[in-house]
Structure 1
């Protein structure tokens, strides 16, 4: 069981919605049981695809940058320090409106899975 990770040793990958992810903790790898914690990176001018998760509740915490969050029928600005709760079944996406990378700490419960991600565009 791996209870500690090191940022530089985590290989990023592309999720189904198009964001670049570094998975800090995930049950399939680290032995925790119910949630995952990852950093998502959206490049300047980029955005994730509109999507939803049938089972997973997510919390986004913006650690660097700014953008526009689409959450259900709402759109609003987000910036460093903001947090957003995304309830299961809620369509969402984030667009980077800044000149630098947008970085988001993503907590998912149950843990993130491609199978629970439904693309909507």
Structure 2
């Protein structure tokens, strides 16, 4: 783990990654994370999903998450209920809620994901 430190970074400094259980061009940049800043209470990512890209349905034991849709549209499933999400929607995911997001739109789906605490498994 990286030592904790205060930083200023430009988004272009972090490479795009396709994290495990993300498919079809579901790319993210881990801007604030244990590996990049040594953060313990926060994981902050920007993600962009190509059409038909998705993260498989999953659950976090103790993590809370906020998704903030910046552009595009897709489908967000939470606990078996699916809803269209689009620009300016903010989604809160409570611990224990099964969830997934899919880009079902015509263009890129771009969003911020904030997760705390980082380690729950």
TM superposition score normalised by structure 2: 0.85
3-state secondary structure, aligned to 2:9: coil
Q: 1:50 aligns with which of 57, 65, 68?
A: 57
**Structure 1: 5+ residue stretches without partners:** 117-121
Distance in 1 between the 2:21 and 2:67 partners? Answer: 15
Distance in 1 between the 2:62 and 2:18 partners? Answer: 20
Question: 1:22: Cα distance to partner?
Answer: 0.2
Runs of 4+ more than 3 Å apart: none
1:26 correspondence with 2:33: yes
Question: 1:68: Cα distance to partner?
Answer: 0.9
Question: 1:24: Cα distance to partner?
Answer: 1.2
Spell out, residue by residue over 1:20-51, the C-alpha distance to the aligned partner (whole angstroms, 9 max, x if none). Answer: 11011113321433111001221112222111
Which deviates the most, 68-77 or 10-19? 10-19
- Give the structure 1 partner of residue 21 of structure 2: 17
- Give the structure 2 partner of residue 119 of structure 1: none
Question: 1:2: Cα distance to partner?
Answer: 4.7
1:73 correspondence with 2:97: no
Asked if the contact 2:11/2:31 (under 8 Å) is kept, the reply is yes
Distance in 2 between the 1:26 and 1:98 partners? Answer: 29
**Structure 2: 5+ residue stretches without partners:** none
Give the length in aligned residue pairs. 114
Asked if the contact 1:48/1:93 (under 8 Å) is kept, the reply is yes
Distance in 1 between the 2:18 and 2:62 partners? Answer: 20
